[in-house]
Amino acid sequence: MTDDVRALAERMYEAFNARDLAVAEAIFSADFVSHPLGTVGVDSVVKAWSGLHAMFPNIQVIVEDMLVDADKAAVRTSLHGIPGGVEEQALPSMMEIFRVRDGRIAELWGLSSLSRPGR
């Protein structure tokens, strides 16, 4: 199962980077829960991804580390293509934990160092 969980997490980041919003239905469960955003459903993923792509047109999420145990993956990523950064500063990063159920991402917990206007 750990190989399946790893492959699903990698597929999710590939879809985000490719701006492939249509694949979200195949990756996330219909009742997907994003604990950090307090949202439910695949549409909430599409809305969040679309918002990030609109705010940062060149954004790319790069997986730095991934640990998989049973039905969960913990992933540390760096965010590239974010304008306004100073070279000496660390890239914005995210730490996310996914739980997979029936071959789809069912839950997400996470933290991000990305500062967004209006937040």
Confidence (pLDDT) at 38: 96
Compute the distance between CA of residue 100 and CA of residue 51 in angstroms, rounded to an integer.
Answer: 24
Domain residue ranges of the chain, discontinuous segments joined by +: 2-112
pLDDT of 23-71, one tens digit each?
A: 999 999 999 999 999 999 999 999 999 999 999 999 999 999 999 999 9
Compute the distance between CA of residue 88 and CA of residue 91 in angstroms, rounded to an integer.
Answer: 9
Q: How many CB atoms within 10 Å of residue 68? A: 20
DSSP string, 55-96: H-TT-EEEEEEEEEETTEEEEEEEEE--TT--TTSPPPEEEE
**What is the token pair recorded at 102?**
């029936």
Compute the distance between CA of residue 4 and CA of residue 69 in angstroms, rounded to an integer.
Answer: 11
Give one word for 10, left, alpha or beta, with left for phi > 0 and alpha for psi -120 to 50: alpha
Confidence (pLDDT) at 119: 44
Confidence (pLDDT) at 118: 46
Question: CATH number of the domain at 2-112, please?
Answer: 3.10.450.50
Confidence (pLDDT) at 37: 93
Compute the distance between CA of residue 8 and CA of residue 21 in angstroms, rounded to an integer.
Answer: 15
pLDDT of 91-103, one tens digit each?
A: 899 999 999 999 9
